[in-house]
Structure 1
Amino acid sequence: MTTDRLVFVDLETTGANPALDRITEIGVVEVDQSGVATHWSTLVNPEQPIPAFIQSLTGISNEMVRKAPTFAELATSLHERLEGALFIAHNARFDYGFLRNAFEQLGLSFKPDVLCTVKLSRALFPDEHRHNLDTLVARHQLKADTRHRALADADLLWQLWQKLRSNLPSETFDAALRSLLQRPSLPSHLPTNSIDHIPDTPGVYLFYGENDIPLYVGKSVRLRQRVLSHFNADHKEYKEMRLSQQLHRIEIRETAGEIGALLLEARLIKDLQPVHNRLLRRQGDLCAWQLRENEQGHIMPVLTHASEQDFGRAERLFGLFSGKRKADTALRALAESHQLCLVQLGLERRSGPLKPCFNWQLKRCNGVCVGKESESFHRARLEAALAKLRVETWPYAGAIGLIEPGADRTDVHVVNNWCFLGSAHSEDEVHDLLEQSPSRPAFDLDTYKILHRALANKQLSVRLLQRQHD
């Protein structure tokens, strides 16, 4: 296999985030098609301080880069040096990501073919477990002068290339190159065949790290496209770069359509608590306002919790909140926007008979607390204000099956009291889900929103499976 001009590249930076950190040193070993190597390096003024621990690691101090050129001053000549060559680096997504981001900030497009020497080593020596640069130096007896300086590390990669070229059969080496260069650029710890069987169908994908630690759960109606998009974006987003650096394994769970993917994603995130998922994690103290009559016969909102009663069957619930503080804040905001009385809402204690609430003094209450408004009229205004927050009572007599047809499968999503019990593909599976479900499944806010939207839009056909008394 013939190769174009090669550039072995290593960078030193102020940190690991390409959006926030900057390059401090660039080392390039440029090899032409005849095998002649040219070494080039430069310090770079990052225009920001270098953290002390980075200075200790690389030996590059703030004083050393103070009079060095900025990246903007180097960009045009560096771009010309790298353009059209096969870009080779160790953990290449890091170096490529920093350079591509830096070039793009200056309006320069940088999209070379990229080869990662970590993945090359994995492809050629699949029985070896370690492929970091120090390990490769020892394994292949490379000559290391100074580690963690850009040109020295770039030269080690050139040495590695020559060793592999001379010590391995050419067909073995070329086959590995062809395989790696024809594939999308994957995270270095991910086996090269990991994406081969990912379908472009609806479903959920799970990213696992070292020791099978759950990193991230996502969903899509086109799984393959969505999974690959993570790897195309990580040069810009720090979160995506960190995710790629940690990723070791991908698991795929197909569904018939989008509703099934949404429901499964919400459940798996609650169950697995992945490191990089934030928004859909389990709510610790789900609560809502419920209109109840107190001892004096007044109707007022009382905070109730999902752990105390079945939110799927409860009536007169309003708002779903992840804790008391958020519930109080929402009710106070409602009081101010609708001129409601804080005393009547239970948010403020009356200091004496007919003593006004604080909102009355601010002219934000219509005066039910001082007899200026009837309690019945205030109650009617309260219920009208709460209407948009109403939690709908489960509208069926028992469990239902939401039937979602797909291209080559049909899923029956078994649901009761707004709780997702699972998806089935046969009558036996439906029966098992109903039999195995707890007497009162945990009410989940995200699942409620998904199901409420699906039922309101009449996206799926519904089949009654079991009446409540069965």
Structure 2
Amino acid sequence: MALPQRLAVVDLETTGAHPVRDRITEIAVLRIEDGEVVERWSSLTNPGVHIPGTIQNFTGITDAMVADAPPFEALADAVWALLDDAVFVAHNARFDYGFLKNAFERMGRQFDAPVLCTVKLSRALYPGHHRHGLDAIIERFGLSCEARHRAMGDADVLWQFMAQAAAGFPDDTLERAIDKAMKRPSRPPGLPEGVLEGMPDSPGVYFFYGENDLPLYIGKSKRIRARVMSHFAADRMNGKEAEMARQIRRVEWEQTAGELGALLLEACLVKHHKPLHNRMLRKNEDVFGLRVVTSNKRKANVLERVPLTDSDPREWSDVFGAFRTKKEADNLLRELALLYKLCPRRLGIEPGRTGACMAYQMKRCAGVCAGKESTEDHDARLSAALAGKGIKPWPWDGPICVPEHDENTGRSEFHLIDRWCYLATERTEADVADALSGARYAFDIDIYRLLVRWFDALAHRQNVAPIAL
């Protein structure tokens, strides 16, 4: 057998997923020496806080069950003795290890142990399988579990799995897999143990914090935990990411029901908080469109800027384009002037008010500035050239609802959108109509571009539910 000589197989039940903020409700430890169980120990523990209803339903552990249970401080010596001089074994091990380490630290005791993660061990030994959660392992090996989602029941399953692995592989193969499963993951040096492992592997938004309550960075992902851990992979960190990692002291997250919800939430939160390390999606107050203004003066600038940010698209009339800077608009106008022989002076991109424009002298302008064509003809050609450069037409007759559902968490969300404006997200479909009645239409170019990309996919368009007015 190539297993370490002394193992402590551990499983915890907790009030939530955050090892600093949440608390332990049940502990089970199997002490293994030379491949034999020498002690089985478990206890409920009073967390000193309310157990959320979703957690009570999931584990079956209620507030009433722990009301008379001892606090962790009364169990600490017994737990310490069981873990002493042993390899700490758990499924998603850094999560359980982080909870115990933080519980001991609150007592002023420093707990450290080598850690073996059975999720990583399963991946190393059985790379052909895609699922390595405890339910998948139970199903794969036909293991018995008397009480799933209770500490001793889950600890028993882990030991059954390890015993089967030890019997099924040569010692050298098992040793290599164990070395891989015990490798400490890369993480910011100031981040408490177990925080990353406690994050859900589901859609949502995550927040990196330093010493204060202003986020350093806000990101989104379809799989929060995997994405956050990838930030700190040693082989991927560049100078900027390494600097950010040194500043991180806290990680928080907010789950969504799907990818669109994560995209919309990230865009809104970045604009609100303006994190130091976010370069994209920051609010820009100067986004504008262009409108052709009727003028019979041959050398007049016939384009006026129309502010778009936070305006209501339903009130726009003959507005073309959406630009963040004057340079961006001028570049487009120069391109159109060249293609359609438009007058740069009349477009406001060439100074001067006397004589023909330079483009006319180079035969690149049809000559409105020199009296060679009418202002009506020039401006009609300008409007036609700009027509394809505006905000895309809204594909539906009115507002739409985009539903999302995460089967793993059971979370549902309904996103209310109209005229490229993100209006609201509701948890039930019944609330969408009420949200529409008080919705504020405010155009945002980043939301617009996000939605254009999203609805480019046929599957996403087919998921839309138009709202009858």
State TM-score, norm by structure 1.
0.56
- C-alpha distance in 2, partners of 1:223/1:337? 47
- What aligned pairs does 1:213-362 form with structure 2 within 5 A after superposition? 213-233=214-234, 236-294=237-295, 300-306=302-308, 309-348=311-350, 351-352=353-354, 355-362=355-362
Report the Cα offset of residue 432 of structure 1: 4.9
The residue that corresponds to 1:198 in the other structure is: 199
Describe the SS at the equivalent of 1:210. Answer: coil
- C-alpha distance in 1, partners of 2:468/2:295? 36
Structure 1 residues not aligned, in runs of 5+: 3-118, 130-167
- CA deviation map 1:170-194 (0-9, x unaligned): xx54x26668955422111111111
Verify the 8 A CA contact 2:311 2:443 in the aligned structure 1: no
- What aligned pairs does 1:389-468 form with structure 2 within 5 A after superposition? 389-394=389-394, 396=396, 398-407=398-407, 408-438=410-440, 441-458=441-458, 459-460=460-461, 461-465=463-467, 467=469
- C-alpha distance in 2, partners of 1:425/1:415? 15
Verify the 8 A CA contact 1:259 1:450 in the aligned structure 2: no
Verify the 8 A CA contact 1:215 1:275 in the aligned structure 2: yes
- C-alpha distance in 2, partners of 1:252/1:443? 27
- CA deviation map 1:289-323 (0-9, x unaligned): 12333466999432111269523541332221123
The verdict on how the C-alpha distance between 1:456 and 1:181 changes in structure 2, with shifts beyond 3 A counting, is closer
- CA deviation map 1:80-116 (0-9, x unaligned): xxxxxxxxxxxxxxxxxxxxxxxxxxxxxxxxxxxxx
The residue that corresponds to 2:37 in the other structure is: none
RMSD: 3.7
Verify the 8 A CA contact 2:301 2:348 in the aligned structure 1: no
Verify the 8 A CA contact 2:345 2:352 in the aligned structure 1: yes
Structure 2 residues not aligned, in runs of 5+: 6-97, 118-180
Report the Cα offset of residue 427 of structure 1: 3.6
Verify the 8 A CA contact 2:204 2:254 in the aligned structure 1: yes
Report the Cα offset of residue 268 of structure 1: 1.0
Query: What one-letter code is carried by the residue in structure 2 that aligns with 1:210?
Result: E
State TM-score, norm by structure 2.
0.56
User: Aligned pairs, how many?
Assistant: 307
The verdict on how the C-alpha distance between 1:320 and 1:250 changes in structure 2, with shifts beyond 3 A counting, is same
- What aligned pairs does 1:156-195 form with structure 2 within 5 A after superposition? 172-173=111-112, 175=113, 182-195=183-196
Report the Cα offset of residue 374 of structure 1: 4.9
Describe the SS at the equivalent of 2:199. Answer: coil
The verdict on how the C-alpha distance between 1:454 and 1:315 changes in structure 2, with shifts beyond 3 A counting, is farther
- C-alpha distance in 1, partners of 2:115/2:236? 22
- CA deviation map 1:211-231 (0-9, x unaligned): 122111112222222111100
- C-alpha distance in 1, partners of 2:296/2:308? 23
Describe the SS at the equivalent of 1:211. Answer: coil
- C-alpha distance in 2, partners of 1:196/1:394? 42
- CA deviation map 1:385-427 (0-9, x unaligned): 3244211354555432122344344421112332212221214
Report sequence identity in percent: 39
